[in-house]
Structure 1
Amino acid sequence: MKERIISVDIFRGLTIALMILVNTPGTWEYVYPPLRHADWHGYTPTDLVFPFFLFIVGTSIVFAYRNKEPNSATYKKISIRTLKLIGLGLFLGAFTISFPFFKDFSEIRFPGVLQRIGVVFFFAAIIFLNFNWKVILGITIAILAGYWIWMGFIPLQGDAPTFDRAPNNWANYIDLQVFGTHMYKDDYDPEGLLSTLPSIASSLLGIFTGLILISKRAKKELLLLAVGIGMLLLGYLWDLAFPINKALWSSSFVLVTAGWANIFLALIYYLTDVKGIQFGSIFRYTGANAITLYFLSSFVTKIFYSVQVEEGLSLHGWIYKNIYVQSFLSGELSSLLYGLSVVSFYLLLALLMYRRKIFIKV
Structure 2
Amino acid sequence: MERIRFTSLDVFRGLTICLMIVVNMQGEGAYPILGHADWFGFAVADIVFPSFLFAMGNALSFGKTDLPAGEFFVKTLRRTVIIFALGYLLYWFPFFKHTDAGWVMKPFEDTRIMGVLQRLALCYAIAAIAARYLGERGLLALSAVLLLGYWGILLASAPPELALTKTGNIGNYVDQLILGKSHLYPWDEGFEPEGLLGTIPAAVNVIFGYLAGLYVRKHSPGQFVMIRFICVGVALILAAVAWGTVFPIGKKLWSSSFVLLTVGIDLIVLAGLIAWIDQAKQKFGVGFFEIFGKNPLIVYLFAELLAVISWQFDIGGKSVTGWLSGNLQTYVPGAPGALLFAVLYMLVCWLFAWTLHKTKIVIKV
Normalised to the residue count of structure 1, the TM-score between the two structures is 0.93
Please, what is the CA RMSD of the aligned residues?
A: 1.8
Specify the code of the residue in structure 1 equivalent to 2:130. Answer: I
The whole-number CA distance in structure 1 between the counterparts of 2:273 and 2:42 is: 23
Q: Matched residue of 2:315: which SS? A: strand
The CA deviation at 1:159 is 7.2
* Aligned sequence identity (%): 32
- The residue type paired with residue 250 of structure 1 is S
| Deviations 1:161-197 (CA, angstroms, capped at 9, x unpaired) | 421223x311222222222221113431110111011
Aligned counterpart in structure 2 of residue 281 of structure 1, from 284, 287, 301: 287
Where does residue 57 of structure 1 map in the other structure? 56
Using the TM superposition, give the Cα deviation of residue 224 of structure 1 relative to its aligned residue in structure 2, in angstroms.
0.8
1:6–1:284 contact (8 Å) kept in structure 2: yes
Change (3 A) 1:74 1:274: farther
- Verify: 1:147 aligned to 2:146, yes or no: no
Checking the alignment, whether the CA contact within 8 Å between 1:57 and 1:121 is kept in structure 2 is yes
- Opposite residue 239 of structure 2, the aligned amino acid is L
8 Å contact from structure 1 (residues 106, 181) kept in 2: yes
Displacement after TM superposition at 1:160 (Å): 5.7
Name the residue aligned to 2:329: 325
CA drift at 1:70: 4.8
Q: 2:116 aligns with which of 104, 113, 118?
A: 113
Q: Which consecutive residues of structure 1, in runs of 5 or more, have no partner in the other structure?
A: none
Corresponding residue number in structure 1 for 2:140: 137
Which one of 40, 63, 71 corresponds to residue 69 of structure 2?
A: 71
**In the TM superposition, what is the alpha-carbon distance from 1:155 to its structure 2 partner?**
3.6
Q: For each residue in 1:257-282, what CA deviation from the matched residue of structure 2 results, as whole angstroms up to 9, or x when unmatched?
A: 00000000011012212332214211
Query: What is the aligned partner in structure 1 of residue 239 from structure 2?
Result: 234
Asked if 1:297 corresponds to 2:296, the answer is no
Q: In structure 2, the residue corresponding to 1:325 is in which secondary structure?
A: helix
Instruction: Assess if the C-alpha contact under 8 Å between 1:205 and 1:258 holds in 2.
Output: yes
Deviation of 1:354 after TM superposition, in Å, equals 1.0
Q: Deviations over 1:44-68 (max 9, x none)?
A: 0100000001011112111123x43
Partner of residue 83, structure 2: 85
CA offsets 1:90-125 (integer angstroms, 9 cap, x no match): 101111364667522232011100111111111111
Matching of residue 24 in structure 1 with residue 34 in structure 2: no
Q: How far, CA to CA, are the matches of 1:102 and 1:35 in structure 2?
A: 36
Instruction: Tell whether 2:28 aligns with 1:38.
Output: no
Distance 2:104 2:20 in 1: 25
Work out the CA distance in 2 between the residues paired with 1:14 and 1:249. Answer: 22
Aligned residue pairs, count: 353
How far is 1:82 from its partner? 1.0
1:358 aligns with 2:361: yes
Contact 2:97-2:106 at 8 Å conserved across structures: no
The match for 1:183 is 184
Query: Do 2:51 and 2:262's aligned partners in 1 also have CA atoms closer than 8 Å?
Result: yes
Once the two structures are superposed, what CA deviation does each residue of 1:289-311 show, in whole Å capped at 9, x if it has no partner? 00000001101100101112333
- The answer as to 2:222 corresponding to 1:221 is no
Query: Within the alignment, does 1:307 sit opposite 2:308 as a pair?
Result: no
What amino acid does structure 1 have at the position aligned with 2:333?
A: S
User: 2 CA distance for matches of 1:29 and 1:146?
Assistant: 38
Per mean C-alpha deviation after superposition, the further-off stretch among 268-277 and 28-37 is 268-277
Residues 194-253 of structure 1 deviation map (CA, whole Å, 9 limit, x = unaligned): 101100011111122112101237611111111111110111110011000100100000
Please say which of residues 217-226 and 290-299 is displaced more in the overlay: 217-226
2:58 and 2:212 in contact (8 A); partners too: yes
| Equivalent in 257, 268, 272 of residue 273 of structure 2 | 268
Amino acid at match of 2:280: K
Instruction: Report if aligned partners of 2:157, 2:163 keep a CA contact under 8 Å in 1.
Output: no
C-alpha spacing 1:71/1:237, structure 2 compared with 1 (3 Å): same
